[in-house]
Protein backbone atom coordinates (compact mmCIF):
# COMPACT_ATOMS: atom_id res chain seq x y z
CA UNK A 1 0.00 0.00 0.00
CA UNK A 2 1.32 3.47 -0.90
CA UNK A 3 0.92 6.05 1.86
CA UNK A 4 1.01 9.65 0.65
CA UNK A 5 2.50 12.60 2.55
CA UNK A 6 -1.07 13.90 2.81
CA UNK A 7 -2.12 10.67 4.55
CA UNK A 8 0.85 10.95 6.91
CA UNK A 9 -0.16 14.53 7.73
CA UNK A 10 -3.76 13.49 8.43
CA UNK A 11 -2.56 10.75 10.79
CA UNK A 12 -0.17 13.19 12.47
CA UNK A 13 -3.03 15.63 13.08
CA UNK A 14 -5.43 12.95 14.35
CA UNK A 15 -3.02 10.96 16.54
CA UNK A 16 -0.44 13.47 17.77
CA UNK A 17 -2.53 16.66 17.90
CA UNK A 18 -6.27 15.99 18.30
CA UNK A 19 -5.42 12.88 20.35
CA UNK A 20 -3.46 15.05 22.81
CA UNK A 21 -5.96 17.85 23.18
CA UNK A 22 -5.20 20.41 20.42
CA UNK A 23 -8.62 21.90 19.61
CA UNK A 24 -8.17 25.10 17.56
CA UNK A 25 -9.54 24.12 14.11
CA UNK A 26 -7.42 26.74 12.34
CA UNK A 27 -4.23 25.31 13.89
CA UNK A 28 -5.27 21.77 12.96
CA UNK A 29 -6.06 22.82 9.37
CA UNK A 30 -2.74 24.62 8.98
CA UNK A 31 -0.81 21.61 10.22
CA UNK A 32 -2.76 19.37 7.85
CA UNK A 33 -1.80 21.66 4.94
CA UNK A 34 1.86 22.62 5.41
CA UNK A 35 4.21 20.01 3.83
CA UNK A 36 6.55 19.34 6.78
CA UNK A 37 8.60 16.87 4.70
CA UNK A 38 9.86 19.83 2.61
CA UNK A 39 11.36 21.43 5.75
CA UNK A 40 13.67 18.56 6.78
CA UNK A 41 16.97 17.32 5.27
CA UNK A 42 16.64 14.54 2.65
CA UNK A 43 17.77 11.79 5.05
CA UNK A 44 15.06 12.78 7.57
CA UNK A 45 12.14 12.79 5.08
CA UNK A 46 10.93 9.29 6.12
CA UNK A 47 10.59 10.63 9.69
CA UNK A 48 9.12 14.02 8.77
CA UNK A 49 5.70 13.21 10.28
CA UNK A 50 7.01 11.24 13.27
CA UNK A 51 6.21 12.30 16.82
CA UNK A 52 9.59 13.89 17.47
CA UNK A 53 11.94 16.78 16.80
CA UNK A 54 14.44 16.18 13.98
CA UNK A 55 17.96 17.48 13.29
CA UNK A 56 18.20 20.17 10.61
CA UNK A 57 21.99 20.69 10.73
CA UNK A 58 24.23 23.12 12.65
CA UNK A 59 23.21 21.35 15.88
CA UNK A 60 19.63 22.67 15.56
CA UNK A 61 16.23 21.00 15.27
CA UNK A 62 12.77 21.32 13.75
CA UNK A 63 10.40 21.02 16.73
CA UNK A 64 8.08 18.07 17.35
CA UNK A 65 4.70 18.60 15.59
CA UNK A 66 2.83 18.55 18.92
CA UNK A 67 5.05 21.30 20.36
CA UNK A 68 4.52 23.43 17.22
CA UNK A 69 0.76 23.01 17.66
CA UNK A 70 0.73 23.73 21.42
CA UNK A 71 2.77 26.91 21.02
CA UNK A 72 0.74 28.10 18.04
CA UNK A 73 -2.57 27.40 19.80
CA UNK A 74 -1.35 29.37 22.83
CA UNK A 75 -1.02 32.48 20.63
CA UNK A 76 -4.79 32.32 19.84
CA UNK A 77 -4.33 33.86 16.37
CA UNK A 78 -7.41 35.15 14.50
CA UNK A 79 -5.80 36.07 11.16
CA UNK A 80 -5.18 39.81 11.60
CA UNK A 81 -1.98 39.68 13.66
CA UNK A 82 1.54 40.81 13.05
CA UNK A 83 3.69 38.01 14.48
CA UNK A 84 7.35 37.82 15.48
CA UNK A 85 9.10 34.46 15.69
CA UNK A 86 12.56 34.09 17.23
CA UNK A 87 14.37 30.96 15.99
CA UNK A 88 13.53 30.43 12.30
CA UNK A 89 15.40 27.10 12.03
CA UNK A 90 13.87 25.25 9.06
CA UNK A 91 11.07 27.82 8.60
CA UNK A 92 8.32 25.27 9.36
CA UNK A 93 6.88 27.11 12.36
CA UNK A 94 7.02 30.38 10.41
CA UNK A 95 4.96 28.74 7.63
CA UNK A 96 2.34 27.58 10.15
CA UNK A 97 2.17 31.10 11.61
CA UNK A 98 1.91 32.63 8.12
CA UNK A 99 -1.16 30.46 7.43
CA UNK A 100 -2.84 31.87 10.55
CA UNK A 101 -1.80 35.52 10.77
CA UNK A 102 -1.38 38.57 8.53
CA UNK A 103 2.41 38.98 8.61
CA UNK A 104 5.32 37.09 10.12
CA UNK A 105 8.81 38.37 10.84
CA UNK A 106 11.13 35.53 11.82
CA UNK A 107 14.65 35.99 13.21
CA UNK A 108 17.48 33.43 13.02
CA UNK A 109 21.01 33.94 14.37
CA UNK A 110 22.62 31.40 12.01
CA UNK A 111 22.91 32.88 8.50
CA UNK A 112 23.04 29.44 6.76
CA UNK A 113 19.74 28.34 8.33
CA UNK A 114 18.12 31.71 7.63
CA UNK A 115 19.14 31.60 3.96
CA UNK A 116 17.88 28.03 3.49
CA UNK A 117 14.58 28.88 5.20
CA UNK A 118 14.17 32.05 3.10
CA UNK A 119 14.66 30.09 -0.14
CA UNK A 120 12.34 27.28 0.99
CA UNK A 121 9.55 29.63 2.09
CA UNK A 122 9.78 31.62 -1.14
CA UNK A 123 9.62 28.45 -3.25
CA UNK A 124 6.46 27.46 -1.36
CA UNK A 125 4.92 30.82 -2.27
CA UNK A 126 4.84 32.51 1.16
CA UNK A 127 4.70 36.27 0.62
CA UNK A 128 3.88 37.33 4.19
CA UNK A 129 7.10 36.08 5.85
CA UNK A 130 10.29 38.12 6.31
CA UNK A 131 13.42 36.23 7.45
CA UNK A 132 15.97 38.33 9.35
CA UNK A 133 19.49 37.33 10.48
CA UNK A 134 20.11 38.76 13.95
CA UNK A 135 20.13 38.05 17.67
CA UNK A 136 16.38 37.70 18.21
CA UNK A 137 16.60 38.20 21.97
CA UNK A 138 16.67 41.92 21.13
CA UNK A 139 13.56 41.51 18.96
CA UNK A 140 13.04 43.49 15.77
CA UNK A 141 12.41 47.19 16.16
CA UNK A 142 9.28 48.71 14.63
CA UNK A 143 5.58 48.50 15.23
CA UNK A 144 4.72 46.32 18.27
CA UNK A 145 3.82 42.69 17.59
CA UNK A 146 0.42 41.18 18.43
CA UNK A 147 2.06 37.83 19.06
CA UNK A 148 5.64 36.73 19.73
CA UNK A 149 6.82 33.12 19.64
CA UNK A 150 10.29 32.06 20.77
CA UNK A 151 11.28 28.57 19.64
CA UNK A 152 14.46 28.20 21.70
CA UNK A 153 14.87 27.83 25.46
CA UNK A 154 15.68 30.96 27.50
CA UNK A 155 16.82 31.52 31.11
CA UNK A 156 14.25 34.32 31.52
CA UNK A 157 11.81 36.35 29.41
CA UNK A 158 13.88 38.91 27.43
CA UNK A 159 12.80 42.43 28.44
CA UNK A 160 13.27 43.62 24.84
CA UNK A 161 10.63 41.15 23.65
CA UNK A 162 8.17 42.18 26.37
CA UNK A 163 8.66 45.79 25.30
CA UNK A 164 7.73 44.86 21.71
CA UNK A 165 4.50 43.11 22.67
CA UNK A 166 1.38 45.08 21.68
CA UNK A 167 -1.40 45.73 24.19
CA UNK A 168 -3.60 42.61 24.29
CA UNK A 169 -0.76 40.55 22.79
CA UNK A 170 0.79 37.23 23.82
CA UNK A 171 4.35 36.04 24.04
CA UNK A 172 5.03 32.28 24.17
CA UNK A 173 8.51 31.16 25.23
CA UNK A 174 10.19 28.12 26.83
CA UNK A 175 11.78 29.29 30.13
CA UNK A 176 14.03 27.26 32.37
CA UNK A 177 17.49 25.71 32.55
CA UNK A 178 19.87 25.05 29.65
CA UNK A 179 18.47 21.53 29.18
CA UNK A 180 14.81 21.69 30.27
CA UNK A 181 12.13 24.37 30.21
CA UNK A 182 8.47 25.13 30.92
CA UNK A 183 6.31 26.61 28.21
CA UNK A 184 5.51 30.11 29.46
CA UNK A 185 2.82 32.48 28.18
CA UNK A 186 3.11 36.22 28.88
CA UNK A 187 -0.08 38.20 28.19
CA UNK A 188 -0.04 42.02 28.10
CA UNK A 189 -3.33 43.43 29.37
CA UNK A 190 -3.92 46.98 30.53
CA UNK A 191 -0.17 47.63 30.45
CA UNK A 192 0.40 44.74 32.88
CA UNK A 193 2.29 41.52 32.00
CA UNK A 194 0.64 38.36 33.33
CA UNK A 195 2.71 35.16 33.17
CA UNK A 196 1.34 31.61 33.19
CA UNK A 197 3.40 28.43 33.16
CA UNK A 198 2.34 25.40 31.12
CA UNK A 199 3.83 22.03 30.20
CA UNK A 200 7.50 21.15 30.35
CA UNK A 201 9.54 20.97 27.15
CA UNK A 202 13.09 20.61 25.85
CA UNK A 203 14.43 23.18 23.37
CA UNK A 204 17.88 24.05 22.06
CA UNK A 205 19.20 27.15 23.86
CA UNK A 206 18.31 30.72 22.94
CA UNK A 207 21.79 32.18 22.53
CA UNK A 208 22.22 35.93 22.67
CA UNK A 209 22.40 39.14 24.66
CA UNK A 210 19.21 38.40 26.62
CA UNK A 211 19.55 34.61 26.40
CA UNK A 212 22.36 32.11 27.13
CA UNK A 213 26.02 32.88 26.40
CA UNK A 214 27.49 31.18 23.30
CA UNK A 215 29.29 28.08 24.64
N1 LIG B 1 11.13 27.17 14.64
C2 LIG B 1 12.08 26.27 14.05
C3 LIG B 1 11.50 25.40 12.98
O4 LIG B 1 10.28 25.48 12.74
O5 LIG B 1 12.27 24.66 12.34
C6 LIG B 1 12.82 25.45 15.07
C7 LIG B 1 13.71 26.27 15.89
S8 LIG B 1 15.09 25.47 16.62
C9 LIG B 1 14.32 24.53 17.87
C10 LIG B 1 15.77 26.91 17.46
C11 LIG B 1 16.41 27.92 16.53
O12 LIG B 1 16.68 29.09 17.28
C13 LIG B 1 17.74 27.47 15.96
O14 LIG B 1 17.71 27.54 14.56
C15 LIG B 1 18.73 28.46 16.54
O16 LIG B 1 19.83 28.76 15.69
C17 LIG B 1 17.86 29.67 16.78
N18 LIG B 1 18.34 30.64 17.76
C19 LIG B 1 18.93 30.41 18.96
N20 LIG B 1 19.18 31.59 19.58
C21 LIG B 1 18.73 32.57 18.76
C22 LIG B 1 18.70 34.00 18.84
N23 LIG B 1 19.19 34.68 19.88
N24 LIG B 1 18.13 34.68 17.80
C25 LIG B 1 17.64 34.03 16.72
N26 LIG B 1 17.66 32.69 16.60
C27 LIG B 1 18.18 31.96 17.60
- Residue 207 belongs to a domain: no
Q: Which of 34, 44, 58 is nearest to 108 (CA)?
A: 58
Percentage above 70 pLDDT, the chain: 100
- Using the 8-state DSSP alphabet, how is residue 168 labeled? E
Q: What is the tally of structural domains in the chain?
A: 1
Q: Output the domain CATH number for residue 110.
A: 3.40.50.150
Q: How far from each other are the two terminal CA atoms of the chain, in whole angstroms?
A: 47
pTM over 0.85: yes
What's the pLDDT tens digit per position in 57-71? 999 999 999 999 999
Q: How confident is the model at residue 126 (pLDDT cuts 50, 70, 90)?
A: very high
| Domain interval for residue 174 | 5-201
- Would the CB of 113 count as within 6 Å of ligand 1? yes
Percentage above 90 pLDDT, the chain: 95
- Residue 215 belongs to a domain: no
What's the pLDDT tens digit per position in 51-109? 999 999 999 999 999 999 999 999 999 999 999 999 999 999 999 999 999 999 999 99
Compute the Cα dihedral for 140, 124, 28, 11 and give only its sign: negative
- Residue 192 belongs to a domain: yes
Active site residue 4: no
- Residue 74 belongs to a domain: yes
Question: Which of 87, 97, 112 for a ligand 1 pocket mutation test, highest count of atoms within 8 Å of Cβ?
Answer: 87
- Residue 206 belongs to a domain: no
**How far is residue 108's CA from residue 113's CA, in Å, rounded to a whole number?**
7
CA 101-107-31 angle, to 5 degrees, is 40
Whole-angstrom CA distances from 73 to 58, 100, 113 are: 28, 10, 25
- Residue 142 belongs to a domain: yes
Amino acid sequence: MIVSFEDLRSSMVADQLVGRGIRDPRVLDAMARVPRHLFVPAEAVPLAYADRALPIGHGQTISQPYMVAVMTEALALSGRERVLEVGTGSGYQAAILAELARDVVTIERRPELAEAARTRLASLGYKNITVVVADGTAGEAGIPYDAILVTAGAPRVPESLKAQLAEGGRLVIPIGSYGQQDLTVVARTGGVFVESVHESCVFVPLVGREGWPDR
